[in-house]
Amino acid sequence: MNSQPPTPADPPPAAPPYREPSHREPSRKDPVDAIAEQWAAVRPDLDTAAMQVFGRIGRIARAMGDRTEQAYAAFGIARGEFDVLATLRRSGEPYTLSPRQLSATLMLTTGGMTGRLDKLERAGLLRRSPDPHDRRGLQVTLTERGLELVDGAVVAGLAVQTDSLAAALNAEQAGRLADLLRELLLSTETPRN
């Protein structure tokens, strides 16, 4: 029997060097890329990764805020008024909250909330009434007209947001992005010691 000595197996190919995701060259550039490039030119020692994330979040929020504002304008309301009506709607039947609860949810001063409530009440979209459980308190309740209006406005606003999201990301990407943004939001809203 003619046996040959075993030959060593070929070594596995070397793995490509690891590169941070932020170092990938984007296929398209946006205004935030231009800002980061300007900083890199004058201060190459700065790591602008966080600036790029938060800068994009801010620009997206402004752009989508403007687009949804236009959708709400078709219903005769502005974004702040939509927020009040939507908060009441999300509370469930009987669509009633106190002004204090509304202020806390929307992070508004009582003065800012009073102005919105006045306008919405004049438009017949909500009503204020005495709180039966607190002689000094008030309740704010959606009217039937307010309920119909906010149901239409939320559909219109979501359509604008959904179309914008679908134009850039598939469902899996959108889900991953939502998960990442949740983590970032929880981290930024948690007080640091």
DSSP string, 127-139: EEEEETTEEEEEE
Give the relative orientation of helices 49-73 and 31-42 as an angle to the nearest 10 degrees: 150
Q: For residue range 150-182, what is the model confidence (pLDDT) as tens digits?
A: 999 999 999 999 999 999 999 999 999 999 999
Give the separation between CA 80 and CA 176, rounded to whole angstroms.
Answer: 29
Could you give the C-alpha distances from 44 to 23, 48, 136, in angstroms and in order? 14, 10, 61
Residue 121 host element (H or E):
helix 110-122
From first to last of its 193 residues, the chain has per-residue pLDDT tens of 455 554 445 554 554 443 445 456 667 899 999 999 999 999 999 999 999 999 999 999 999 999 999 999 999 999 999 999 999 999 999 999 999 899 888 988 878 888 999 999 999 999 999 888 877 888 999 999 999 999 999 999 999 999 999 999 999 999 999 999 999 999 998 877 6
Torsion region of 92: left, alpha or beta (phi above 0 gives left; psi -120 to 50 gives alpha): left
**Which one-letter DSSP state was computed for residue 125?**
S
37 — phi, psi (to 5°)?
-65, -35
Give the number of residues written for the chain: 193
